[in-house]
Amino acid sequence: MRWIIVGMLVALAGCGAQRVAEPEPRVVRVEVPVPVPCRVKAPAVPAWAADGLRREDSLEVKVRALLAERRQRIGYERELQAAIKFCD
């Protein structure tokens, strides 16, 4: 009976000596979007064609200047839209 008790103690001692394996540390890459300031240079405002009109100018000169300014504004707006699109 003594050998049975000794055997049980040895068996219990063996169970207590086992260690739980620690999980190994590992590196995990997590991609997170980071806000970046937009560094687009704003387009320069052109000298508008209609700014130089005078009251004495003929109707034809005024119409041509207004049509030219319209084209200038369309081009300027496209430059602004391209700068905004670049920053999105």
**Farthest CA pair distance, the chain:** 129
pTM: 0.56
For the chain, the domains span 42-88
Q: HSE of 67 in the Cβ direction (CA atoms, 13 Å)?
A: 6
Q: Rounded to whole angstroms, how far apart are CA atoms 59 and 57?
A: 7
pLDDT digits (tens, 9 = 90+) for 35-87: 888 888 889 999 999 999 999 999 999 999 999 999 999 999 999 999 888 88
Task: Name the residue among 42, 45, 63 with its Cα closest to residue 53.
Answer: 63
